[in-house]
């Protein structure tokens, strides 16, 4: 497995998936994407796991696409869909057992989309959450146009997507997000307590109920991705996008 992602079992039946690419601040490097794919495959296949908690390190949950990858898409060399590799952003949704996103740190762009594809979500009051696609001039991807309204509501989800604004967790709590928003130190312990509660249930029942609850979202997602990619064909290749990526990325 990639060193960027580790798998442990802190409590019986609970898989703890930790993203810890400190050099790249948990951006979607090849190492992080491959590591996540391998770990989630193991979690789904191992009958002893009844649930999974996905988290990051320190003040970073997941920082989304790298600038090099985004510039490559802008130049027409790639899309955010990678051939012969699982869609990293939807791994929490595709995992057969329930997944809890313990977003103790900043979650940016595709990193926030991935976190919202989990079944349960815990946010940090101090951390930054943003769908910053439009900050760089291109329309959102990573299934965000479907999952943001689904999990945050039409008004708030649309605001994040349209404006590219940055929100602290405390501000999202004031806006009424339907998730716990806690001090950073409490995010992972709370998620693990939720996971321990889930792990008391039979795995078969958890798998069947998750499949039922996510059926509509899973059915609609491929069509949404096609529409996002079609918008990218128009919006990503504008010269302003390259300029904004060069001047604003990471700010």
CATH value at residue 136: 3.90.226.10
Residue span of the structural domain in which 103 resides? 5-185
Q: Angle at Cα 116 formed by Cα 248 and Cα 12, nearest 5°? A: 125
164 in any annotated domain: yes
CB-count exposure of residue 214 (10 Å: 0-12, 13-18, 19+): middle
pLDDT at 83 > cutoff 70: no
Greatest CA separation for the chain: 54
What is the predicted pLDDT for the residue at 114? 97
pLDDT at 95 > cutoff 90: yes
- What is the overall mean pLDDT for the chain? 94
DSSP assignment string, 65-84: S-HHHHHHHHTTS--SS-TT
Q: Identify the three-state secondary structure at position 237.
A: coil
Residue 106 designated active-site: no
What is the predicted pLDDT for the residue at 79? 76
199 in any annotated domain: no
Catalytic-role residue among 24, 106, 212, 232: 232
Q: How far is 61 from 235, CA to CA, in rounded Å?
A: 27
pLDDT at 1 > cutoff 60: no
**Whole-number Cα distances in Å, 202 to 13, 41, 48, 223:** 10, 20, 10, 33
pLDDT at 110 > cutoff 90: yes
205 in any annotated domain: no
What is the predicted pLDDT for the residue at 80? 73
Assess contact for 10 and 195: CB atoms under 8 A: no
Tell me the per-residue pLDDT of 19-32, one tens digit each, with 9 for 90 and over: 999 999 999 999 99
């Amino acid at each position: 497995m990639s060193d960027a992602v580790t798998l442990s079992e802190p409590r019986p039946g609970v898989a703890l998936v930790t993203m810890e690419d400190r050099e790249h601040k948990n951006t979607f490097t090849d190492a992080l994407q491959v590591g996540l794919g391998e770990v989630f495959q193991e979690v789904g296949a191992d009958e002893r796991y009844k649930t999974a908690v996905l988290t990051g390190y320190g003040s970073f949950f997941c920082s989304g696409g790298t600038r090099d990858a985004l510039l490559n898409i802008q130049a027409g060399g790639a899309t955010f869909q990678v051939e012969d590799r699982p869609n990293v952003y939807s791994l929490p949704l595709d995992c057969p057992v329930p997944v809890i996103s313990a977003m103790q740190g900043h979650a940016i762009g595709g990193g926030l989309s991935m976190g919202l594809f989990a079944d349960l979500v815990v946010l940090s009051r101090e951390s930054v959450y943003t769908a910053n696609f439009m900050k760089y001039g291109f329309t959102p991807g990573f299934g965000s146009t479907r999952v943001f309204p689904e999990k945050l509501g039409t008004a708030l989800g649309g605001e994040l997507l349209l404006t590219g604004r940055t929100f602290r967790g405390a501000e999202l709590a004031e806006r009424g997000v339907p998730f716990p928003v806690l001090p950073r130190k409490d995010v992972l312990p709370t998620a693990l307590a939720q996971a321990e509660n889930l792990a008391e249930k039979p795995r078969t029942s958890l798998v069947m109920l998750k499949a039922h609850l996510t059926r509509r979202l899973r059915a609609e997602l491929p069509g949404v991705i096609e529409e996002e990619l079609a918008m990218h064909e128009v919006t990503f290749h504008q010269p302003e996008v390259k300029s904004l990526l060069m001047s604003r990325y990471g700010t």
